[in-house]
């Protein structure tokens, strides 16, 4: 969960709260990390994967404005947005 917190640029305690709520809804479950059993990882349940698929489908409208861009233009836009956010 520390890796997730770093990726989300937030405190691990925030991720713990988010995972607690997702777990209460049956969307994720905590499992021991196979590499270090002292560490817990959040893994999507089958319901969590179904909900994620549904969310991705509902966001298809956002792809339409980008459809007219070439691959190079999409990469340039992605890189510019990452630069604005300070994401490597």
Q: Which domains occur in the chain, in start order?
A: 2-85 (1.10.10.10)
Note the pTM of the prediction, 2 decimals. 0.65
For residue range 18-77, list pLDDT tens digits in order: 999 999 999 999 999 899 988 888 999 999 999 999 999 888 887 788 888 999 999 999
Q: Looking at residue 20, what is its pLDDT? A: 95
Which runs of consecutive H residues, i.e. helices, occur in 1-88?
2-8, 12-24, 46-58, 71-85
Q: Looking at residue 67, what is its pLDDT? A: 84
| Higher-confidence position of 78 and 61 | 78
* 88 pLDDT above the threshold of 70: no
User: CA nearest 51: which of 29, 27, 31?
Assistant: 27
Q: Looking at residue 64, what is its pLDDT? A: 81
């Amino acid at each position: 969960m520390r890796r997730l917190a770093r990726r989300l640029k937030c405190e691990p305690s925030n991720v713990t709260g988010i995972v607690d709520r997702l777990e209460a809804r049956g969307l994720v479950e905590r499992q021991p990390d196979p590499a270090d059993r002292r560490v817990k990882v959040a893994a999507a349940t089958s319901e969590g994967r179904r909900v994620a698929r549904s969310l991705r489908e509902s966001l298809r409208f956002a792809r339409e404005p980008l459809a007219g861009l070439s691959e190079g233009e999409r990469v340039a836009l992605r890189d510019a947005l990452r630069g604005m956010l300070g994401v490597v």
